[in-house]
Amino acid sequence: MTTTDTQMNNYLARLRTALTGMTLAEREDVVQEIRMHIRERSSDVQASVEETLAGLGPAEELAQQYRTGLLVQRARHSISPLVILGATLRWATTGVEGFLVFVVALWGYGMGISFLLLALLKPFFPQYTGLWVGPGEFDFSFRMGVTMTNPASPVHEVLG
């Protein structure tokens, strides 16, 4: 085995390891395509294997592009909060835009879960569960959740 074969095989082994979240067949298909690209690129265009591997970028980054693309694609067609959050978390690691989307998604799910808990607790503890608004430390306060003491006026509860 030549040095260039060793370089290519090492790169493909790293790629194979980093390609998580795929079936074995999908992973081998990707590895095979990249292998053929390296062979053809380095034979036809007279580029060395080193140059071809540099053009592809680090194996781990290439694998991350595959994973991110597929996760975002799955999230588009999924209603599962876990799939959507997983996709945005992966996206968040790739740039500012993804990070902002992740923060907004996390906040949205947090608010959703809070309202769900309120709806479940409200029938049992109507006086101590709710959403209170009114003048606070500054001009306006907003409080939501369960409290041990019934908040007194001037705040008022808006969930009924």
Partner 1 sequence: MTQLNFSTPEIETSDKWEAQMRKGCLEMAVLASLWHGRLYGLEILRVLERDSRLVLSEGTIYPILNRLRAEALVQSQWVEAEAGHPRKYYELTRNGRGRATRMATTWTEFSAGLSLLIEPVLKEKERKRDL
Per CB under 8 A, residues contacting partner 1 are: 29-30, 32-34, 36-37, 39-41, 52, 55-57, 61-62, 65-66, 68-70, 72-74
Measured from the CB of residue 63, what is the shortest distance to partner 1 in angstroms? 9
Distances (CA, A) of 35 to 16, 44, 47, 99, 134: 11, 14, 15, 33, 65
Nearest residue (CB) to partner 1, 57 versus 110: 57
Nearest residue (CB) to partner 1, 67 versus 122: 67
Contact 85, 106 (CB under 8 A): yes
Measured from the CB of residue 13, what is the shortest distance to partner 1 in angstroms? 17
Spatial strand order of the sheet with 141-146 comes to: 141-146, 129-134, 156-157
Amino acid sitting at position 42: S
Nearest residue (CB) to partner 1, 17 versus 65: 65
